[in-house]
Every structure is written in C-alpha cells, then in structure tokens.
Amino acid sequence: MKNTQNFIAAALFSFVSIANSFAQSDNAPKPYGAIPSKHQYNWQQMEYYMFIHFGPNTFTDKEWGHGDEDPKVFNPKKLDARQWARTAKAAGMKAIIITAKHHDGFCLFPSKYSTHTVRESSWKNGKGDVLKELSAACKEYGLKFGVYLSPWDRNHPKYGTPEYNEIFAKTLKEVHTQYGPIFEQWFDGAKGQGEKKQDYDFPLFNSVVYAHNPQAIIFSDIGPGARWMGNENGVAGETNWATLNTDGFGVGAEAPKGAVLNTGDEGGKYWIPAEVDVSIRPGWFYSASTDDKVKTLKQLESIYNTSVGRNSNLLLNVPVDRDGLIHPADSTRLMELRKFLDAAYKTDLAKGKKVTATNVRGNAKTFAAQNLTDGSDKSYWATDDKVTTASLTIDLGQATVLNRIVLMENILLGQRVKSFSVEYWDDTAFKELDKQTTIGHKRILTFPNISTTKIRVNILASNACPALSAIQLYKAPDIQ
C-alpha cells in the first residue's frame, strides 16, 4: 500500500511538473497511462553509471562468499576511492553504486549491527570506512552515490529469525543517514538454495529508504523505482516498455518471469523503467585470472546500444582489485568506450535541418515538427489526439553519410509509440532501413553506412497521439 501511495503522489507531482516545465498551451496532450515521477525522470537522464563489487570475495576469489571468511582477509593497502571516482568521471559515467553489503554479510562500513565489517578487518587497523571515502570522492567529482545492500546475510546469527528484518532495516538506516544523499538503493531477492529461510520485508526496507532519501530510486526485480532487466548480459528487450504490472508479485522467486521483466508490460499500471546490470569482466568481483578477459570495445558498444539504446539505464560493473584500485585493464577499456561515444555522438547531422510532418497538433508552432531537430529536449512534436500514425521527413539538404539514428519520446507524457519504421531516400524512392517497436526515453538504431539526402520516420502505431522530443542522426566511426 505504501508503494502505491508513493506512486500516486509521485505521479501527481509529475503532472504538475509537466505543466510548469513546458508552460505550453492548454492544447497540450494529456499524459497517457503511468508516467515517471520527477526523480525517475531525472534518473533516466543519467543513462550510464558504475557498479563496484568489492569485499572479502575480492581476496578469496569467490563470487558468493559464505560469510565464514576471516574479516582480516580484507586489506586493500592502496585503496583510493578518489581514483574510482576519477575513473568513473573520465569514463563519462554519472554515478557509482557500491556493494556496501553483499551476500556474505561483510559491511564496507563499521555497522553497529554486525561483527563482520571493515572494523574487524586488517585494513587501516579497523579504522577505515569505504562508504565514507567513496561518498566524499563522489561529491568531489560531481558524481551521484548509490548503495547495494543485500538482504541475504550468510554471516549474521539472526538471519532466518523474525528479528532479522528489523536488524536489516536498522542497517539501512545507518547507511542512509550517514552517507547521503543516495540516488539509488539497489536490492535483489537472492536467498540461495538450501539456505536459511527468511521472508524479506521489502515494504519496511523501502520505507526506511524513502524516510531518509525520498529522492532515491529503489531498484529490485519489481522496483518500485526501477526494475531488473531479467538478465545480466547487458541486453534489454527490443520491445521495452517502462511500465510494469507488479500487483501480486514480489522480489526474487516471486518476481515476474524474466521475459516479462525484459520487455515490461504495455499499458502497465506502474512506471518502473529498466536498468541493465552487466560486468566488464566475466565475474562481478575482481580476479587476476580475468585481467585478460575484460570485454572488448566492440562488446561494450553493443551493450550500450542494447541498454541505453533500448530505453534502459546502463549499470556497468567495474570491480576493484586487491590493492583497492580499478585495474588498468578495466580503466583503459572504459576510456576507449568514452572516446568512441564522444566521437560517435559529437555531431548531430539532423540538428537545425528542415522537418515536415503529416500532422502537427492544432497546426501550432508549439508542437511543430521542427522541434525534433532544435537540439532541446524541452520542446516536442505531437499530433492531434485522434491521430496515432504519422510520418516525419528530415531534409538534410545534401548527400550525408550516417549510421546511427536516435529517437526520443517525451516520456513526461507517458510512453506511447508501439511501432515505427525508418526509411532513407536512395535518389529514386524511400527504402526501408529498419522497423522496430518501442522508443521510450531513448532508442538507438545502428546500421551500415548509408548516404542519403532525406530520412523519414513513420509512426506506425501508438497508444495515444505520439509525442517525440528528438530525432538525431550520427556518423559513428568504425571499431577496428
């Protein structure tokens, strides 16, 4: 019930924000279906940020620790959270989320509610606090700070008892009152096969987060702020709705099927956009054996296209090594990706170009097709209410080589487009280049180089009058 109330309040806030932000005529389209809260909208603009898995597993070469490891094994003698933040900033990332407590129960902060923490470790003679250092580093470099606390705890003696949920809630409160502001709280429902049974009280956990960081996006299988994409390969569904039906579902084994999480629910009751989590290495924690297995630039660009390019945020895991540093193999690849993305999206070939539409809402300049290429995400094109199909033609003026198209909906009005196609002029006729389903916050289409003077986007089906904020065209460099 609390989640529903939060959603309703957020939706009302967003409705007011629409009116204030756009300050447009009374003829503006009414929001369709579920819409993002202010905080969700801001979160979706972030698009790309860093995950850091770090803890005893880094030193034991395990992915899932058993909670029986000696905490003294954690001793990153060169730990430099500023290096992590510098790397993330240089990579073009907007935030860092760290495993403050993983399944082994080890806390990267000196929690009062555990004896399996940095306080019991050899690092800084038990006087260190990773969250304190990283939170400060994120502030210094202008990054947002987020945390992952696993409800599963293979170390805590109270896990599997009624008291544990209250202990975990108090642990959450510690983090959310000492290291904020926190932009995202990352949860999963892992429990392990044959482990102690514990029914997690997510309504309680969520209420603690919202009490101290009301702006935080809560991630889990079913949100309520953002949802898991259903895989850890970096691939969102080609069809990806930011809406989801979660009534009757839970986190973990009670979540909707992976195929549903991958695509969302068309016309879903709640706005719960997707976040894609994937690691730059084969595993989540650092292992020296994978120093030569960091994903290639080509793989990372593909992941970017199937996450950010499919209406999702990309949470890329970059594990910290045993020295407490991001390894050069990882940082080098991140910089290569940044260099490629900067080059690929430096020059919008459509910016300022003439756009014509088969329908413009009320024939008003406020909703003109020209808004699509004006370089602003505050303006948009829309059709009359009863018009749910339309064509938009961009005249490039001269033969232009391109291989990327970016489309964006005005998601403050909801996600509307069900299907669309893109065509290019081959000097005699328009030829189909691609045909897809959803757009959402951002859709990136990639294709081999073409040379054309005109691009046409056809909205083939929409659940309400389409409202697009941008169509952009780019020529990305080849990846060798």
Q: Which two tokens stand for residue 289?
A: 């054996």
| Cis peptide bond N-terminal to 224, omega within 30 | yes
Indicate whether 165 belongs to any domain.
yes
Q: Is the pLDDT of residue 344 over 70?
A: yes
What are 267-311's pLDDT values in tens digits?
999 999 999 999 999 999 999 999 999 999 999 999 999 999 999
Indicate whether 379 belongs to any domain.
yes
275 and 163 share one domain: yes
**Which residues face 247 on adjacent strands?**
none
The mean pLDDT value for 422-436 works out to 98
pLDDT of residue 20: 43
Identify the residue with better confidence: 377 or 456: 456
The mean pLDDT value for 165-172 works out to 98
Which one-letter DSSP state was computed for residue 367?
Answer: G
331 and 388 share one domain: no
Q: What is the CATH number of the domain that holds 401?
A: 2.60.120.260
pLDDT of residue 7: 43
Indicate whether 17 belongs to any domain.
no
Phi, psi of 289 (to 5 degrees): -70, -10
Alpha-carbon gap, residue 216 to 213, rounded angstroms: 5
Sign of CA dihedral 253, 274, 232, 237: positive
Give 22: exposed, middle or buried? Use CB within 10 Å, 0-12, 13-18, 19+: middle
pLDDT of residue 443: 98
The mean pLDDT value for 342-361 works out to 98
Alpha-carbon gap, residue 87 to 327, rounded angstroms: 10
Alpha-carbon gap, residue 388 to 105, rounded angstroms: 52
The mean pLDDT value for 184-212 works out to 92
The mean pLDDT value for 148-165 works out to 96
pLDDT of residue 309: 98
Sign of CA dihedral 425, 430, 436, 440: positive
Identify the residue with better confidence: 372 or 3: 372
Q: What is the CATH number of the domain that holds 333?
A: 3.20.20.80
261 and 317 share one domain: yes
* Alpha helices, DSSP H, located in 68-179: 81-90, 130-140, 164-178
218 and 135 share one domain: yes
257 and 373 share one domain: no
pLDDT of residue 16: 44
Residue 191 binned pLDDT confidence (cut-offs 50, 70, 90):
confident
Contact 216, 184 (CB under 8 A): yes
pLDDT of residue 22: 42
Indicate whether 10 belongs to any domain.
no
Which of 22-36, 163-177, 208-222 shows the lowest mean pLDDT across its residues?
Answer: 22-36
What are 50-68's pLDDT values in tens digits?
999 999 999 999 999 899 9
Alpha-carbon gap, residue 283 to 266, rounded angstroms: 33
What are 14-39's pLDDT values in tens digits?
444 443 444 345 699 999 999 999 99
**Residue where a domain terminates, one of 344, 374, 396:** 344
376 and 227 share one domain: no
Domain count across the chain: 2
192 and 253 share one domain: yes
Q: Is the pLDDT of residue 12 over 90?
A: no
Indicate whether 232 belongs to any domain.
yes
Neighbours of 375 (CB within 10 A): 13
359 and 442 share one domain: yes
**Residue where a domain terminates, one of 322, 344, 366:** 344
Indicate whether 4 belongs to any domain.
no
163 and 39 share one domain: yes
**Which residues face 217 on adjacent strands?**
184
317 and 379 share one domain: no
**Residue where a domain terminates, one of 344, 368, 388:** 344
pLDDT of residue 10: 47
Average pLDDT, the chain: 94
132 and 275 share one domain: yes
Q: For residue 419, what are the domain limits?
A: 354-474
pLDDT of residue 377: 84
Structure pTM? Answer: 0.94
221 and 281 share one domain: yes
pLDDT of residue 25: 56
Q: Which two tokens stand for residue 459?
A: 């909205």
Indicate whether 480 belongs to any domain.
no
Q: Is the pLDDT of residue 3 over 70?
A: no
Indicate whether 400 belongs to any domain.
yes
Q: Is the pLDDT of residue 322 over 50?
A: yes
pLDDT of residue 480: 76
